[in-house]
Amino acid sequence: MNRDSIGDSRALRALVMCVYSEHRSKTLDLECTCGAHRFIGYELLRRVGGLIMAREYIARDPRTGLPLNVKKTKHVDKTIVSETGPWVSISDADVLPLALGEIASVDTRYLDANHTHDRSAGVRALGRFSGRRIHDAHAALMIAFEQDEGDIRVAALQVLPEIAIRKSDELFDWLSVLLDDEDTAVQQAASRCLTLTSPVFPSAVETILGNELRSSQKTRSEAAWSGLYALCETWPEVVVNHVDTLLLEDDAKLRRKAAGLLRRVVQRGGSPVWDLISWSLNDIDVEVRRIAARTLPSLAKRESRIATVFAERAMVDEDSKVRLSGIKALQSIDTDHGRARELVVKGARSKDIQVRKACVELLPRLFGDDVLRTMAIDLLKTETDAKIIASLNEMMFDVSMDGTEAQKNAQLAPTPAVPAIDREVAEAQGKQVGLQPIRPSGQPDGEQPPKPADGAPPPEAPGEPGAYRAVSQDEMMGYTDEFEDEEPETDDEYF
């Protein structure tokens, strides 16, 4: 080991020991065999400058230089909030005996009122336990599921999500069984439990949720769909799997509801969502195609090329609403996209008046004035709708050629201002810049001054204080002097 390496080793050792003494709580106390070094965490070394790290890569827009995806990520809470009620006033020592039926009731005071709690309240209070006591609470909950009293089973289903966070063994098996319970109240409690647990336990309830989505009972089906909607925020990839199977169902209502979920997962579902949109656009049911087409504008903001392909397919659909959704997707696509321009030009000649109108409105965004004027002239030859004709006429109108004098002058550049030095020279000569001469006093309106006789010089205007006229640049600079031409007018005089 040379002298330089020894110096580097000592410097690193001093740095490590200094950081270790300041941040002892974040160190990793791994002793080397020599016992001379202590090591700290990698992140801590990077933070204090112990390691020379390259800057993290940040994807930026090449046109603006701004970081991509700067939108604040929506925080999704995947936890289950514990509910409160009179059962929270039961002491911890009485919860398990009351839930197991060892004691009949417990009297407590909650919110300035006296309450008598039975076994169902004891079961409901099992959600407070954690750590080692969660095993006893889990065992008491499993016993509560087997009770004949419906209110006890309902209480067990209400506390199931809170205990499943800590220990979920066999709980969802009981949930599947109690969904078919004879007691209506128990069925409703089980459906509500499924809605709450779906966003947090997607794999545990996947089979249960799939069966409930197809249930013939409206209340059970609606609860399952509510859970699937909530699942879109936490696990969109799981929703994609459910939609994939639902689109294969023969029932059109199920396919319509499944297509309605595509818009919720199109931003985070990835490429599998593209396949689902493609299948939905080819569905035999027109309502399914309409719902799928409404997702195209959202897809265009993220995947413009894929959205262009789907928009092209939607524009040839036999339903007008599907075609109009395809046009809306093109409005969200970058106008520099060549294929998008072709679709807009083609749509401007469509047989559907709504498609033609939407495409004509897009033409000014895609083409310049000269090309736009030529296209408007060409489209006017076959257009029959009055509103579209009016729009095309506006595109043909050129102010510089067809406008009024005032409109043409409005397009001209303003007259440059007279320099300050020239303005001073004019004022020194008793002149003012940019104003018209004042009409002499005593001359009535409309009366013209008398014309001078032939050969007589024109009469000079009477000098009045404040009389002025506009002067030219040549007059201010003294270039208006007239010089006699000393050269002869004819060649004879010259020779």
Q: Is residue 151 within 8 Å of 181, Cβ to Cβ?
A: no
**How many other C-beta atoms can be found within 10 angstroms of the C-beta atom of residue 153?**
24
pLDDT digits (tens, 9 = 90+) for 355-371: 788 778 777 777 777 77
Burial of 278 (0-12, 13-18, 19+ CB in 10 A): middle
Residue whose C-alpha is closest to residue 298's, from 284, 310, 283, 289: 310
Owner of token pair 């490429």: 271
Residue whose C-alpha is closest to residue 122's, from 90, 164, 146: 90
Q: Which two tokens stand for residue 412?
A: 């001209």
CA distances to 4, 49, 149, 156, 159 from 177, rounded to whole Å, are: 73, 58, 16, 13, 16
Q: Is residue 355 within 8 Å of 324, Cβ to Cβ?
A: yes
282's CB contacts (< 8 A; 6+ apart) are 289
Distance between CA atoms of residues 452 and 456, nearest Å: 6
Q: What is the pTM of this model?
A: 0.60
Burial of 115 (0-12, 13-18, 19+ CB in 10 A): middle
Q: Which two tokens stand for residue 477?
A: 């600079």
68 φ, ψ to 5°? -80, 155
145's CB contacts (< 8 A; 6+ apart) are 153, 156, 174, 178
* Dihedral over Cα of 62, 64, 65, 67: its sign: negative
* Dihedral over Cα of 339, 345, 349, 355: its sign: positive
SS3 breakdown of the chain: % helix, strand, coil, rounded to 5?
A: 55, 5, 40
Q: Which two tokens stand for residue 256?
A: 């319509």
Report the pLDDT value the prediction gives residue 190, as an integer from 0 to 100.
94
Q: Is residue 174 within 8 Å of 193, Cβ to Cβ?
A: no
User: Pairing state of beta strands 106-109 and 114-117?
Assistant: antiparallel
Report the pLDDT value the prediction gives residue 439, as an integer from 0 to 100.
55
Distance between CA atoms of residues 310 and 327, nearest Å: 11
Q: Which two tokens stand for residue 144?
A: 């509560």
Name the stretches of the chain with pLDDT < 70.
Answer: 1-57, 69-79, 334-338, 340, 399-403, 408, 411, 413, 415, 432-495
Report the pLDDT value the prediction gives residue 442, as an integer from 0 to 100.
55
Three-class SS state of 487 = coil
Report the pLDDT value the prediction gives residue 44, as an integer from 0 to 100.
41
User: Pairing state of beta strands 114-117 and 27-28?
Assistant: unpaired
Report the pLDDT value the prediction gives residue 345, as an integer from 0 to 100.
76
The string of DSSP codes covering 358-389 is HHHHHHHHHS-HHHHHHHHHHHHTT---HHHH
- What angle is formed at CA 327 by the lines to CA 321 and CA 333, rounded to 5 degrees? 145
Residue whose C-alpha is closest to residue 241's, from 224, 253, 264, 258: 258
